[in-house]
Structure 1
Amino acid sequence: MRIEEDFLGKKEIEDTYYGIHTIRATENFPRTNETFDEYFIESYFQIKKACTTLNNKLGYLSNEKSKAIKKACDEKFLYEYIIVDPLSGGAGTSVNMNVNEVIANRATELLGGKLGEYIVDPLQDVNMHQSTNDTFVTAGKMAVIKNLQTLVEKVILLQNEIQKKEKEYYSVKKIARTQLMDAVPILFGQTFGAWADALSRDRWRLYKVEERVRSINLGGTAVGNGVGAPRDYILKIVDELKKVSGVKIAKAENLIDNTQNLDVFVEVHGLLKALSVNLLKISNDIRLLGSGPNTSIGEIILPKIQGGSSIMPGKINPVIPEYVIQLCYSVFAHDSMITNCTANGTLELNHLSPTIVHHTLKSFKYLINSLESLTKYIKLIKVNEKKCRENLEKSTSLLTPLIEEFGHDELSKIIKSNDYVLKDIIKEVSKTFNLTEEEVIEKIDIQNITGLGKK
């Protein structure tokens, strides 16, 4: 154990890499068991490394201290000592101090000192020329960029898998449904194709939004006017961070605006919500098309990946679509939260940035998980061609091409009088309009009605 002191007093602390500011935060903000996105912590350490590197180059920090800090910033085992809850108060100050203390203690250890001795000081050295207000949100934006790249890759993989199904089952005819009721015939490839095109839009939107996230306020310190940092540092720190992290970022044109306004998180999360909408729609479609399978639609054969019931033998449930749907609804909830928190930032700082950053990154995790699971699942899906044909042959919607020739009202009467039984309807149509049954069936051109026939 050791004793540390701040301006509030002394505290006894176990021999570990964090210090008194971290301990006070854990006492004030009980753990919720929420965990930081790993990209966020990685980005925070990269920010500290970049700041240290530049401060050393400019002559503000000694070679000895800078070398130790940089080495500590590269040691990923230190991430586990970032123990402040992601939803702490103080606009991220406790998180910043947790990072500062962990790096300072490890750097001190590397220089031959004891934990808590602070040969390297958390505030004077590790946090030199920085504020929580320009480091916390910068780490959040960097983590968003890293997650965006992963997310787009996962969208592409799912889109590709669906397009394989589109090609495999393109010519399989089925009945389309509107308001869950039988509509006109369609090809199963067209169903898969519509899903793939929706994901194509998500892919493009997510790819393009990265441009707006790149603008960061590092160097602006507390409110964006750079108080507490020298001009040469302010002008060069973003370029240094770009070198250290490899992330494509740029210094904001207006650091004050970039410090207080976090609307870019609303924009990004709006696109995450749009992706969630499409994933939820696809998942619900899979559930419906696979329903039954013997007593309902049953046109998709659901993968047998786990037992579906503790009491009904042999039951298979659409567990992955259900999993994805739950995560998508969670993203919807995050979107409302992020919108409200961003709108309620006050004056020169958004005090709710921990919630904004954390739940944006949490939504990324939910969607990456959803995409991975759904991609594996769709790969195993098969189309029940026999059931598609049976359902199609039972549907009176096959008569749609006859409307132009025989009239909507007349056909409706015939359908009703024959109790919607297709074979009986065809007989009466042939009798009423003096045609053979073969001629009636010929007029029902399924290839044409699915959009592939000659005009």
Structure 2
Amino acid sequence: MRTESDSLGSLNIPKVAYYGIHTQRALHNFPISSQATHPELIRAFLEIKQAAAQTNATAGSLDRSVAKHIVSATKTLLSSPLDMSMFPISDIQGGAGTSTNMNVNEVIANVALEQTGRERGDYKYINPNDHVNMGQSTNDTYPSSGKIALLRLLDPLFESLTALIDSLGNKADEFSSTYKMGRTQLQDAVPTTLGNSFHAWLKPLRRDVERLNAAREPLYMLNMGGSAVGSGINVSYHYQVHIVPNLAGITKLPLTQAHDLFDATQNLDGFVALSGALKTLAMNLSKIANDLRLLSSGPRSGLLEINLPAKQAGSSIMPGKVNPVIPEVVNQVAFEMFGFDATITTAAEAGQLELNAFEPIVFRSLFAGIEHLTSAMDTLRLNAIDGINSNKSRLAQDIDLSVSFATAMTPIIGYQEAAKMAKESIKTGKSLRQIAQTRNCFTPDQLEHIFRIEDIVINARTPEHGLVLRAPKK
């Protein structure tokens, strides 16, 4: 063991630990979650510390040899997958992220000390606060680290979303001439195509891309240099000017400096906007999953319009049962994101005065939501959408028995007469075509046109759109 001290007293730290007393206190105070701080947040913090050391050295505020050791330590830590035993603090913590900031400061200091041949904890040479944290505050480093982490986690989400849209588009093309009954309020409406259903699913997802892009833009603006409450206290002007450009060079991200450092340290509206865009994406994915479960229901007593790929046995007691497990897991991820959005909104609203103390739960929720939605879209595409096929005979049977063609009759015989014919069809079991053929209110050409499914499903904005019939002139 080794002993370290702070303003509250002294604690024994495991001799092998790279973290120090602030981390040790956090481990004792926040035994909340088994999930440690997200590695991408730690990675971003390390990059900030590297940029800060370089900037403070060129400003003349930090001894160049100390800065060199800090930069070397951060590069060493970033050169391989992070050893998360160095960063063990729960991702749910009090203190607005101060524990994580100090955890990173301590680890960098101790790695640097070790590289110079000194003992861990010998902070008179390289100090977590005075040197590693120079020119910084948790007020600016924590939200900036979170933004960088979010930007990186969003890249795979955009890739997965684009791939899912492409997959739905392929199916829309494949089923463009596969006719089926449309339904409103789960009741027969008028015919459409299965391709139209897939096209209708992908359109909201394309809008999700636009919403997420708009929500991503504010993440590039950082408030580094704001220090405590955006006051810029203990920060050189050189540092304020150069820290974000230097950090942009390290992260390879087009980061920009916030013009109003006071505002940037206390408002979380950008995170709420991102959460809202993620929630809308989750809602659209859940709607698709709901439709897939309905359309594939069966195999005998359901709609059975499509077949989902069979992925696993569906019951421990009912032989042969196969459940729509992929849409089900997508639904659950969506439900989770709805909860995350409520958490994020509440946490943002609960901030007081010059700082919001609840950013840890905001980032935890955003990180988990982005990663789970990304994985959900991947499995939906690979294990469901790409393998869907249609039951054409069932679709054709539903259309033949449908009374929806009565809608096409109304311009000729009126709504009431068409309704009577529809009710007679349902009551007698005869097809609407059979009943219509016994009446004298349609010409042969009109009957052919009314029951020609290709004419009914033509898109309404084409020159030959839809089915518009008029009674012959007397």
Match of 2:339 among 333, 341, 362: 333
Partner of 1:85: 90
2:181 and 2:395 in contact (8 A); partners too: yes
The alpha carbon displacement at 1:438 in A equals 9.0
The alpha carbon displacement at 1:80 in A equals 3.7
What is the CA–CA distance in structure 1 between the aligned matches of 2:166 and 2:242, rounded to whole Å? 42
2:59 and 2:239 in contact (8 A); partners too: yes
> SS in structure 2 opposite 1:419?
helix
Kindly report the root-mean-square deviation, in angstroms, between the aligned alpha carbons of the 2 structures: 1.8
Match of 1:318 among 316, 324, 334: 324
Does 1:393 pair with 2:400? Answer: yes
Partner of 2:470: none
1:134 and 1:220 in contact (8 A); partners too: yes
The alpha carbon displacement at 1:256 in A equals 0.2
2:178 and 2:193 in contact (8 A); partners too: yes
Partner of 1:96: 101
2:37 and 2:88 in contact (8 A); partners too: no
The alpha carbon displacement at 1:64 in A equals 2.8
The alpha carbon displacement at 1:37 in A equals 3.0
Q: 1:375 to 1:81 in 2, by over 3 A?
A: same
Partner of 2:70: 69
The alpha carbon displacement at 1:35 in A equals 3.6
Does 1:109 pair with 2:111? Answer: no
The alpha carbon displacement at 1:192 in A equals 0.7
> SS in structure 2 opposite 1:182?
strand
Q: 1:434 to 1:57 in 2, by over 3 A?
A: closer
For structure 1, the residue ranges without an aligned partner over 5 or more in a row are: none
Q: 1:35 to 1:301 in 2, by over 3 A?
A: farther
What is the CA–CA distance in structure 2 between the aligned matches of 1:162 and 1:417, rounded to whole Å? 39
What is the CA–CA distance in structure 1 between the aligned matches of 2:208 and 2:360, rounded to whole Å? 26
Does 1:270 pair with 2:276? Answer: yes
Partner of 2:219: 213
| TM-score with structure 2 setting the length | 0.92
Partner of 2:469: none
Partner of 1:344: 350
Q: Deviations over 1:357-410 (max 9, x none)?
A: 221222111211111111112111112222211222221113321111122211
What is the CA–CA distance in structure 2 between the aligned matches of 1:437 and 1:35, rounded to whole Å? 74
2:139 and 2:228 in contact (8 A); partners too: yes
Q: 1:218 to 1:434 in 2, by over 3 A?
A: closer
1:398 and 1:444 in contact (8 A); partners too: yes
| TM-score with structure 1 setting the length | 0.96
2:403 and 2:431 in contact (8 A); partners too: no
Does 1:358 pair with 2:364? Answer: yes
Worse-superposed segment, 350-359 or 248-257: 350-359
> SS in structure 2 opposite 1:235?
helix
The alpha carbon displacement at 1:441 in A equals 4.7
Partner of 2:26: 25
1:176 and 1:184 in contact (8 A); partners too: yes
Partner of 1:384: 391
Partner of 2:194: 188
What is the CA–CA distance in structure 2 between the aligned matches of 1:52 and 1:60, rounded to whole Å? 9
Partner of 1:259: 265
What is the CA–CA distance in structure 2 between the aligned matches of 1:386 and 1:72, rounded to whole Å? 67
Q: 1:240 to 1:415 in 2, by over 3 A?
A: same
Q: 1:414 to 1:68 in 2, by over 3 A?
A: same
What is the CA–CA distance in structure 2 between the aligned matches of 1:224 and 1:248, rounded to whole Å? 22
Which residues in structure 2 correspond to 1:403-422 (within 5 Å)? 403-420=410-427
Partner of 1:8: 8
Q: 1:197 to 1:420 in 2, by over 3 A?
A: farther
What is the CA–CA distance in structure 2 between the aligned matches of 1:449 and 1:382, rounded to whole Å? 23
The alpha carbon displacement at 1:209 in A equals 2.5
Report the residue type matching 1:277 in the other structure.
M
Match of 2:166 among 160, 168, 173: 160
Across the two proteins, how many residue pairs are aligned to each other? 455
> SS in structure 2 opposite 1:397?
coil
Report the residue type matching 1:95 in the other structure.
T
Q: 1:177 to 1:120 in 2, by over 3 A?
A: same
What is the CA–CA distance in structure 1 between the aligned matches of 2:46 and 2:31, rounded to whole Å? 24
> SS in structure 2 opposite 1:103?
helix
> SS in structure 1 opposite 2:113?
helix
1:430 and 1:436 in contact (8 A); partners too: no
The alpha carbon displacement at 1:419 in A equals 2.8
> SS in structure 2 opposite 1:166?
helix
1:148 and 1:207 in contact (8 A); partners too: no
Q: 1:395 to 1:428 in 2, by over 3 A?
A: closer
Q: Deviations over 1:218-263 (max 9, x none)?
A: 1101100101111111121111111111112111110001101111
What is the CA–CA distance in structure 1 between the aligned matches of 2:295 and 2:309, rounded to whole Å? 13
2:449 and 2:455 in contact (8 A); partners too: no
For structure 2, the residue ranges without an aligned partner over 5 or more in a row are: 466-474
What is the CA–CA distance in structure 2 between the aligned matches of 1:65 and 1:71, rounded to whole Å? 10
> SS in structure 2 opposite 1:298?
coil
1:327 and 1:367 in contact (8 A); partners too: yes
2:39 and 2:82 in contact (8 A); partners too: no
Partner of 1:304: 310
2:405 and 2:432 in contact (8 A); partners too: no
Q: 1:320 to 1:103 in 2, by over 3 A?
A: same
Match of 1:128 among 116, 120, 134: 134
Partner of 1:448: 455
2:215 and 2:270 in contact (8 A); partners too: no
